[in-house]
Amino acid sequence: MIEQHISLLIVAIPLVLAPVVAVLPNGKLPWLATTVIAWAVFMLAWQQLEMVSGGTSISYELGGWPPPWGIEYKIDTTNALVSLIVAGIAAITMIYASKSVTREIQESKISLFYAAFLLCFTGLLGIAQTGDIFNLFVFLEISSLSSYALISMGKKRQALTAAYQYLIMGTIGATFFLIGVGLLYAMTGTLNMADLAVRLPDLLGHGTVNTAFAFIMVGFALKLALFPLHLWLPNAYTYAPSVVTIFLAATATKVAVYVMLRVIFTIFGFSEIAATPADEIFLVLCVGGILIMSFYAIYQTDSKRLLAYSSVAQIGYMMLGVGLGSMLGLTATLVHLFNHALMKGALFMAIGAIVYQIGSSQIKDFAGLGKRMPWTFGAIIIGGLSLIGVPGTAGFVSKWYLVLAAIEAQSWLLVIVVLVGSLLAVAYVWKLVEVLYFQDGEAGTTEVKEAPLLLLIPTWALVVANVYFGINTDLTVGTAETAVKLLLGGGS
């Protein structure tokens, strides 16, 4: 029974229960409910991935209406992996939330906060699960609207402008996407992705189809904060409550990258895209993003903003693999999708733990904290090393495949860009580590103690995962390779 409806349940459980959480009394109860839901969905997502890991796919017809008339949820290895990332991060973030949310969110808004979180969760899962492009738009709006609300709940007043900025940019992005979908529908008469993939090859090169493609790409480039459309992201990550930053940084952009993959490889097919300048444009933007955004990160004075700019640079790495369009390149993209969720999750959690203790995310206030908060400090070091891509960490695995892909394509410029990007990462990671390590800060920091266990456990769970997936790549690389075979096979 569960197995049969698993693809629907993953989306339906949080969607149906979100309004229930909203009316629960404020206090611990909403947290408990959300945690149970997140873990349940995580289990289901895990099971779903196991069902499709062999390379088969699940097709679920909503309401029994066969596609292309009804909405179809079509799960293959790629989106099963993405759903697992989203659900896994949500589950771990929820443990973290019990302490962090109580401190950062007003007592009267707690149940609303968790309800909004569940809706955002639903939206992201829905985007990953659905096989219908209009349905995808609906879930996109669910996740976006709820994340505007979540960001605006940040403690500082700037959170409101950050949310507003994101609202404007996000709406433009979503509108562009909808225009693109509309144009595709006008040309093909279908909204089902698999069906689109069948019908589009005959129409490629047609002006309307090209326009649709451009609208969809620009729309989602906004959502995933591809340089130079990233302007909303640093503010949003900096001023959002810690839990929201952790969750969005680790999942929202990943889901957007997934949609890019789907649209480019499943719906349109890479060989057709390669005929347009789209892939070259991607490469140029990625190179610009990696280099310029890493430089920006170095000069930040706020730790959350530093990591936010780093995220924009990292998105460049992910899209680089898409631009290359090769087996190795896409493997790198999917592996980095997973690994980056782990490292940014760990880092934002560690920073969140410091913010929890000292109430500031300014780097200058961190002086000498390493000794007072050794476990948090250790998490930042290991997370940072993973971000740099030091061997033995998950980040290295991503870099390994990305550079191999660039070498295979004989594009030495990209090889250099990736490696220089790592060196810039050394600079901004060490900027944090150095401040935490050396002790000549003001005397005020001597009172600070190590963060509570409930913050440290999820942080270290991700830290350990960073090391584990740096040494054992069966799950990440294995799954990614299966997924890429399907993507490349289905597209052309």
Partner 1 sequence: MNMTSENLIILSIVLPVIASFLILLADKKPNLREAITLITATIIAAVTITLGSRVLAGERPELFITEVFPGISINFAIEPLGMLFALVAGTLWLVTSIYAIGYMRGHHEKNQTRFYASFALAISSALAAAYSGNMFTLFLCYEILTISTYPLVTHAGTAEARKSGRVYLGILLGTSIGLQLLAILITYAVTGTLDFRDGGILAGKMDPSYAWLLYALFVFGVGKAAVMPFHRWLPAAMVAPTPVSALLHAVAVVKAGVFTILKVTIYIFGADFITTSGANDWLVWFAALTILLASLIAMTKDNLKARLAYSTISQLSYIVLGALIATKLSIIGASMHITMHAFAKITLFFAAGAIMVAAHKKEISQMRGLGKAMPLTFTAFTIGTLSIIGLPPFGGMWSKWYLALGTVQAEEWLLLSVFMISSLLNIAYLLPISIRAFFSKPADGVEYTEIKEAPVPILIAISITSIMCIVLFFYPDPFYDLAQAAVGGR
Residues near partner 1, by CB under 8 A: 385, 388-392, 397, 399-400, 403-404, 407-408, 415, 419-420, 422-423, 426, 430, 434, 437-440, 470-473, 477
C-alpha separations of 179 from 142, 184, 212, 214, 483 in Å: 18, 9, 7, 10, 29
Cα–Cα dist 342/460, whole Å: 11
Residue 485 contacts residue 331 (beta carbons within 8 Å): no
Return the number of the residue (39 or 400) whose C-beta is nearest partner 1.
400
Of residues 187 and 298, the one with the C-beta less far from partner 1: 298
Helices first, then strands: H and E counts in the chain:
20, 2
Q: How far is the CB of 289 from partner 1 (least distance, A)?
A: 19
Q: How far is the CB of 388 from partner 1 (least distance, A)?
A: 7
- Closest CB to partner 1 among residues 283, 335: 335
For residue 106, CA distances in Å to 212, 238, 348, 358 come to 43, 18, 21, 18
To the nearest whole angstrom, how small is the minimum distance from the Cβ of residue 121 to partner 1? 33
Nearer to partner 1, 202 or 442 (CB): 442
- Which residue's entry shows tokens 């410091």? 354
Strand, coil or helix: what is 58? strand
CA contacts within 13 A on the Cβ side of 71: 17
Name the DSSP letter for residue 59. Answer: E
Least separation in angstroms between residue 9's CB and partner 1 is 35
Least Å distance, CB 283 to partner 1, is 19
Nearer to partner 1, 346 or 385 (CB): 385
Give me Rg for the CA atoms of the chain.
21
- How is residue 230 written in tokens? 């990233």
Minimum Å distance from CB 396 to partner 1?
Answer: 9
Q: How far is the CB of 303 from partner 1 (least distance, A)?
A: 19
Q: Based on CB atoms, which residue is closest to partner 1, 87 or 388?
A: 388
Query: Hey, what amino acid is at 87?
Result: A
**Rounded to whole angstroms, how far apart are CA atoms 162 and 146?**
14
Which of 408, 414, 388, 410 minimizes the C-alpha distance to 470?
388
Nearer to partner 1, 222 or 390 (CB): 390
Q: Are 321 and 405 in contact (CB under 8 A)?
A: yes
